[in-house]
Amino acid sequence: MMKWHKAPPCASGRSSDPGRTTRRREFCGALAAAPFVALAQAAANPPNIVFVLTDDQGYGDLACLGNPIVKTPNLDHLHGESVRFTDFRVSPTCAPTRTSLLTGRHEFKSGVTHTINERERMSLKATTLAQVLKSAGYTTGIFGKWHLGDAAPYQPNRRGFDEVFIHGCGGIGQHYPGTCGDAPGNTYFNPAILHNGIFEKTEGFCTDVFFDRGIQWIDRKRRAGSPFYAQIATNAPHAPLSCPPEYKRMYRDAGLDDATATYFGMVTNIDDNVGKLMDRLKDWDLERGTLLIFMTDNGGTGGVKVFNAGMRGMKGTPYQGGTRVPAFFRWQGTFKPGDVSRLAAHIDIFPTLAELGGAKMPAGLQVDGRSLAPLLRDGQAAWPDRNLFTHVGRWDKGKAAEAKYAKCRVRNNRFSMVSPGPGKGWELYDLQSDPGEKTDVLANFPDVVRKMDAAYDQWWQDILPCLENEDAAPPAENPFVELYRKQFGGAPG
């Protein structure tokens, strides 16, 4: 029977029960407590922060990480100037990852268990990174993909973002029953984008548009002299695959099939835009005052058949290939470039950027992650082991309890324990000797399995009370469609 707690670790994570047990306190983030002490001491020179997050681009979709086909010279250059986390973990799909990045907590604790059907909506009780950075004097902007709720109360302007320039749903032109849907008739070229509550009909390819708007906003903010947080979140290279013809042509001419050529063309277009962003930061003398982050939101998709860095699985799976992503952090003059092999994850972004930005954490707020600042300053810094929990989610409505062992994983520094589905049992992989997860060593490490299984069981009991969107009733009409029709007076176009 499910165990209910007085104050489950849901949404904001604030505790009203000071008498809970030591075990419970440890679960709710005691590992992150030490870095939070430093948050009271605001950074003397907090950096501007530009966070580039791409959609459905895998670890293997960069030349600097071994891909023999794709052309990414600008991201390769950024890689060379950055602290690179070589074992960085996210969720297997997009909305869950975005929730954890913004809250520092596993997405299930904010009610996000899917990418559609109201289950992509981040709890209104959640405290976001944007809100915390604003409290430290940052202005905040998001450009591109949001995917954490399209209804008005869930929109980024209510979640700490001052400037909002986004498409709806999980992708441009997508529509699903309920609140998850984009403006009618949208495509990757010339999309209608919601800008601070009003649709603008843009011109050009969507990735170019998002970077251009983000760069223009950065220009205005740097002229004003206040620190800024800019989140440029592309929809590319998520399907439907589409890109300017010159990008596709370079890969078709190399002999790739149409879909793969288009996918890699979308990646190279992203790369060109990252180069443009880096050029502007250099032109404005902002390189030493800006933390530039590049990351992707889940494992690979359109490029995995070409190169997947020797990993098993892809987006939507709990294996290495579904959750390992590139993660580059460049702050020139502050962070020394180099590889960091310690296990890190999306839940660590919130406490990291809060600390670097000199922000005070709200009283009682608990997160699952811990600040990466020690590793950013010294890749050999102390970093205690921990368990990270992954679950693909996406169970049928009302079937959460039955989905406990459906596509899930427990991960620590050495081992990955995976359940590929209900009734299939655990598999255990020793990643030190078998990073490709080819040999199940479950029988060789009974103590490891017992401890990880117990940790997973406790985690599952803790998240069940947090699943607030499972029975949400959808509205009669998608809010983006409704707003579009009100603005333009009828038929799309």
pLDDT digits (tens, 9 = 90+) for 284-298: 999 999 999 999 999
CB 103 within 8 A of CB 366: no
Residue-level pLDDT at 30: 33
- 234-254 confidence digits (pLDDT tens): 999 999 999 999 999 999 999
Give this prediction's pTM. 0.92
Question: What percentage of residues in the chain have a pLDDT greater than 70?
Answer: 90
Q: Is 232 helix (H, G, I), strand (E, B) or coil?
A: strand
pLDDT band at 346 (very low <50, low <70, confident <90, very high): very high
Report the candidate in 146, 285, 283, 276 with the shortest Cα–Cα distance to residue 215: 276
Residue-level pLDDT at 57: 98
Which domains occur in the chain, in start order? 36-377 (3.40.720.10), 387-466 (3.30.1120.10)
Report the candidate in 350, 363, 468, 462 with the shortest Cα–Cα distance to residue 20: 462
pLDDT band at 23 (very low <50, low <70, confident <90, very high): very low
β-pairing, 83-85 vs 139-144, is unpaired
Q: What's the Cα-to-Cα distance from 338 to each of 34, 80, 269, 329, 345, rounded to whole Å?
A: 25, 8, 26, 10, 18
How many other C-beta atoms lie within 10 A of the C-beta of residue 473?
6
Residue-level pLDDT at 450: 98
Report the candidate in 132, 284, 130 with the shortest Cα–Cα distance to residue 222: 284
Q: How far apart are CA 162 and CA 137, in angstroms?
A: 12
Report the candidate in 452, 463, 391, 388 with the shortest Cα–Cα distance to residue 421: 391
Q: Is 129 helix (H, G, I), strand (E, B) or coil?
A: helix
Beta bridge partner(s), residue 163: 141
- 32-77 confidence digits (pLDDT tens): 333 333 333 335 789 999 999 999 999 999 999 999 999 999 999 9
Count CA atoms closer than 13 A to 102's CA, side-chain side: 37
pLDDT band at 473 (very low <50, low <70, confident <90, very high): confident
The Cα angle at residue 428 between residues 422 and 429, in degrees rounded to 5: 135
Report the candidate in 315, 277, 271 with the shortest Cα–Cα distance to residue 297: 315
Residue 29 has pLDDT above 90, yes or no: no
Q: Is 213 helix (H, G, I), strand (E, B) or coil?
A: helix
Mean of pLDDT values over 403-427: 96
Total number of residues shown for the chain: 493
Q: What's the Cα-to-Cα distance from 482 to each of 32, 166, 477, rounded to whole Å?
A: 42, 16, 7
Mean of pLDDT values over 247-264: 97
Mean of pLDDT values over 178-182: 94
The torsion angles phi and psi of 62, rounded to 5 degrees, stand at -140, 140
